Amino acid sequence: MSKRVTPRSEDYAKWYTDVVLKAQLADYGPVRGTMVIRPYGYAIWEAIKAAYDLRFKETGHENAYFPLFIPKSYMSREAQHVEGFAKECAVVTHTRLRATEDGSGVEVDPDSKLDEELIIRPTSETVIWSLYKQWINSYRDLPILINQWVNIVRWEMRTRLFLRTTEFLWQEGHTAHATKDEAVAETLKMIEVYRQVAEDELALPVIVGLKSEAEKFAGAEETWCIEAMMGDKRALQSGTSHYLGQNFAKAFDVTFRNEANEEQYVYATSWGVSTRLIGAVIMAHGDDQGLRLPPNIAPIQAVIVPIYKDDSRDEVLGATKELASLLEATGARIKLDDRDTVSPGFKFNEWEMKGVPVRIELGPRDLKQSTVMVARRDTGEKLSFSNDQIVSRLPELLTEIQSGLYKQARDFREANTYSPGNWDEFKELMNTGGFARCGWDGDPLTEAAIKNETKATVRCILDEQEPAGIKCIHSGKPARYLVIFAKAY
């Protein structure tokens, strides 16, 4: 495997896969469409998870764990829901293997066939609401604010590492409320939490909006989303929060007695972000040298590379060790790469590929001058610092890189967001790439026609109010909504 990745300009999809594999973020599992998240990729996921989990707990949510298996019959209780998921369900039908007669291997034991087949959760509304039915009797039992971090299976046909895999990791919040107002407020609160963590921790600028009927979650009344622009100007849906109304409460007959002792159906929300966010980080920030990680979620924030010949080895290594402990004491995540088996140049490339925000080089000359050479991964800039300076400057440097990456991504999105004046301009834009901010008449047929002609979809509705004086980009009728159209992952 060559050291370098395919340039983005040559083949963006190939660049993406190259980065995932060469930065050792993930690998292909033995079953088609499955993914192995390697330690470096998983450490990024742990950082993302910790950031979200903290906010979930701060907003009053608790974690729990619901079973992987859903009885087949549960899936069809909510009509839209089963419609949305039936075509991608992994189904468990048997519970035993036995040796083949010729002893060469194993086969499924036909006697172990289940009476009712089990679906591996593609999402957990159905199994969770079957439990909420048991837990909810009175308004005193509400709200229920539960989240779970679990694996999910959706038998997708076209898969790509992190972006769309048959199994992925996510969190799914499932809340139950006494009133519609409270449930709607929860839906909005959580999309705001998603926005904050995406922007503050992942340095990922996002647009918050509402999904169209065609794009909303199967079983939801309304789906809110955060949408981000990737390096190829396509959109990536990065998180969704659903107001489910009473749909699942009715499907699973979940009622409660309110303070006036009247029996009512419960209101629901659900919301999720997944390992897809790692794909978003790769594509929003990566360049032709590989990953560029925002310091807040970087497993290693600064790597120290000692540069020495045989006669200076001990001295240089000693100095880098000392520096590493001084920098660790600032709270930063530091790696001293003291491998003897590879050259400094090899190390530079490797840590660039892995997107480490700051590289610190220390050689015999630096040692004499009590300086270090610092390279920023975001700008490529090289700076010389005294030993004292780097210790006090590192936290600031990391903050600068964090906000620098955010600003670069936001500027890129702004520079590639247009308000096309007519249908020809719109089509041209969808060919060259970018977000179109324009009017839509709200008709699903218009949406389908636009998708058919350009592959672009409504990424999100920017405002539920009808915009004044704006026309639909396709039909020319008065626009019902101001929306973002784009090609999407």
Min dist. Cβ of residue 58 to a second copy (A): 14
CA atoms 64, 69, 71, 77: torsion sign: positive
CB under 8 A: which stretch of 106-114, 290-298, 302-310, 374-382 binds a second copy? Answer: 106-114
* The one-letter amino acid at 231: G
* Dist. CA 48–CA 46, nearest whole Å: 6
Min dist. Cβ of residue 415 to a second copy (A): 36
* Dist. CA 390–CA 323, nearest whole Å: 9
Min dist. Cβ of residue 96 to a second copy (A): 5
State which residue, 169 or 305, has the beta carbon closest to a second copy. 169
Choose among 429, 471, 430: nearest CA to 451.
430
Count of chain residues binding a second copy (CB under 8 A): 67
**Two tokens at 101?**
């007669």
**Two tokens at 323?**
């520096």
Residues 30-69 that bind a second copy (CB under 8 A): 30-31, 34-39, 42-43, 45-46, 62-69
> What is the pattern of x (binds a second copy, CB under 8 A) and - over residues 349-388?
----------------------------------------
> What is the pattern of x (binds a second copy, CB under 8 A) and - over residues 73-92?
xxxx-----x---xxxxxxx
**Two tokens at 303?**
């790597």
Q: Which position has the token pair 């000359």?
A: 365
- Binding of a second copy by 131 (CB under 8 A): yes
Q: In what order do the strands lie in the sheet with 334-336?
A: 334-336, 302-306, 358-362, 371-376, 382-386
State which residue, 112 or 369, has the beta carbon closest to a second copy. 112
Which positions ≥6 away from 35 have C-beta within 8 Å? Answer: 26, 27, 28, 29, 161, 162, 165, 167, 168
Min dist. Cβ of residue 291 to a second copy (A): 17
Choose among 92, 169, 84, 77: nearest CA to 130.
77
**Two tokens at 326?**
């001084």
State which residue, 105 or 469, has the beta carbon closest to a second copy. 105
> What is the pattern of x (binds a second copy, CB under 8 A) and - over residues 304-343?
-------------------------------------x--
- Binding of a second copy by 253 (CB under 8 A): no
- Binding of a second copy by 29 (CB under 8 A): yes
- Binding of a second copy by 127 (CB under 8 A): yes
* Dist. CA 180–CA 178, nearest whole Å: 7
Residues 134-163 that bind a second copy (CB under 8 A): 134, 140, 146, 150-151, 153, 155
Element spanning 329, H or E: none
Residues 443-462 that bind a second copy (CB under 8 A): none
CA dihedral 64, 272, 88, 114 (to 10 degrees): 10
Hey, is 284 helix, strand or coil? helix
- Binding of a second copy by 407 (CB under 8 A): no
Q: Which positions lie near a second copy, rule CB under 8 A?
A: 27, 29-31, 34-39, 42-43, 45-46, 62-76, 82, 86-99, 105-108, 112, 117-120, 127, 130-131, 134, 140, 146, 150-151, 153, 155, 166-167, 169, 341
